[in-house]
Chain A
Amino acid sequence: MCVFVGLLVKGIYELWGQGTTYEELERAVMAYPEERKLPYLTPESTFKIVVDSFGKGRVNLKKPDHKFFVMETDDYGCNNGLPPVAQRTVFFGREVGAADRHLLPTYQLKSRKYIGPTAMDAEMAFLMANQGLARPGKLVYDPFVGTGSILVAAAHFGAMTMGADIDIRVVRDGRGPDCNIWSNFEQYKLPEPLCILRADNNVPPWRPGLKEVFDAIICDPPYGVRAGGRKSGGRKLIKGTVAPYTVPDEKRDSHIPSTAPYSLAECVHDLLHLAARMLVMGGRLVFFFPVVREDGVANPAKYPEHPCFRLLASCEQILSMRYSRVLLTMVKVGPYTEEVEKAAEERRREFRENHHKWMEEGNLHSAVFSPADQAAAAADGKPAIDRDSKPKYRGKYV
């Protein structure tokens, strides 16, 4: 029996028969060719029959050689939002293979030692690692590693991992010696990451000439809805008119650098540039991208593009009427050339020079949380509500 690494396909079954009643089902199974049934009905082999019905529990017996399923669709009064069942149908079939969904309870966040407010849900992290083709011998990098939830999934599939984060409290300290990024890997007996470093993806610390090292980059960039992105070079950028702040020499060692907000557009640009440079050809970039839904749909024309990448898949996860996130899977199809490097440098200069403009244009937080009528007014072309009545957001979203 085979086991898939995929999680969304629950299982594959060889259909032996179906009917609207058990009598009809029995006749169908009897009529199914003997030569297809006999190999699984030998006296030496063990089997079990699982009765699986939507909305009902499943019998659990230990380790049979073959598993047969009776599946039934019927109206139990509760259909979890699915269309009502038109016709009761009963199926009988042999299980050919099934997904290893046991790993979900093992890895669920509520029993993980160290998590943060934006830790990636375990099932989603596994799906992302699969999209990135995390496998033994591959190297996976997460530039916004946080508590390591995506790398844990990649390591489970046998990949080597590396991660970076701008927040030293997360990558180095955690919540103590036994509750940190490293302990999350120990908890599941997974090999620890090759490297965890504190770095800013806006000012990447890679040596000159280094490229094509990672097989996949898998991440959930900070977009400023739940957690805002930060980048190096704080005060100077925020207060452009005052003299640049200079750290006094005697304070250099213990100085905690202030950071500036990181606009979504710049963050995504830096991510694509990192991937263009650091992924091997054919390597994959998998990341979530936030979308403000227009007329109730996500607009694929707004997904980011890059000359080195081709979009393989986009899966929308709707989060509210106005906001969703899309899991984008891209494959590197073009080499990192001097031309690509120059274009990126040009773009970076523009981001630096027009920092405020980019912060306002890409302000997803206000698009998502502002009152609906204001958004509607803006859409009608009416002047946006004046500054004084600007909604005030409670709490800090750093």
Chain B
Amino acid sequence: MRLLTHNMLASNARGAVTGYPLKLQVVKWSTKEAEPNPEFLRGMLPKIDWPALVAATQALGLPELLPEAPPTDAELSAEGAAADEGSALRRLHRALLEIHIEEGALVCPDTDRCFPISRGVPNMLLHEDEVRN
């Protein structure tokens, strides 16, 4: 599961108020390199909840990866950004798309319901008594 996915999900179990952001518990994670796609990242950035993404990188023990404020469109469009390892674009790319949580869990902030992540697939299915009426 990439952090992009973490940024999109919430707990929908009964009792959850917003169910978001889900706390990230990591047992095993890995990095898989991928080709950066600046157009895709620029389109996705406005949809990202930045504080939740920063919190997720911190939960992984990578406090240096992202700055407190999201990158600007100009920073993402800067010439050579895709090739420069330390650029805002590459950092965003790494955070959203190259980090994979293999084993762990997503925990609902309201109810502590734990959604397991196994073999990279988060299991968001509810038990029958957790579905809201």
Contact = CB atoms under 8 A, between A and B. Distances in A.
Interface string A247-276: 100001101011100000000000000000
Given A207-B21, A208-B20, A198 B122 contact: yes
Interface of B: 1-2, 4-5, 7-12, 18-21, 34-35, 37, 39-40, 43-44, 47, 49, 97, 114, 116, 118-129, 131-133
Contact of A195 (B2, B10, B21, B126): B2
B10 A172 contact: no
Nearest to A139: B40
Nearest to B32: A192
Contacts of B132: 203
A234 B121 CA distance: 23
A357 interface: no
Contacts of B34: 191
Contacts of A136: 37, 39
Contact of B12 (A191, A195, A203, A245): A203
A197 B123 CA distance: 6
By DSSP majority rule, is chain A's interface helix, strand, loop, or mixed?
A: loop
B20 to A, nearest CB: 4
B47 A212 contact: yes
Given A172-B121, A232-B128, 4 more contacts: A204-B12, A207-B18, A208-B18, A259-B128
B125 A232 contact: yes
A194 interface: yes
Size category of the binding interface on chain A: 35 or more
Interface string A203-237: 11111101011000000000000000000111110
A252 B130 CA distance: 11
A213 B123 CA distance: 21
B126 A206 contact: no
Nearest to B106: A205
B51 to A, nearest CB: 13
Contacts of B35: 191
A233 B5 contact: no
B107 to A, nearest CB: 13
A348 to B, nearest CB: 10
A234 B74 CA distance: 50
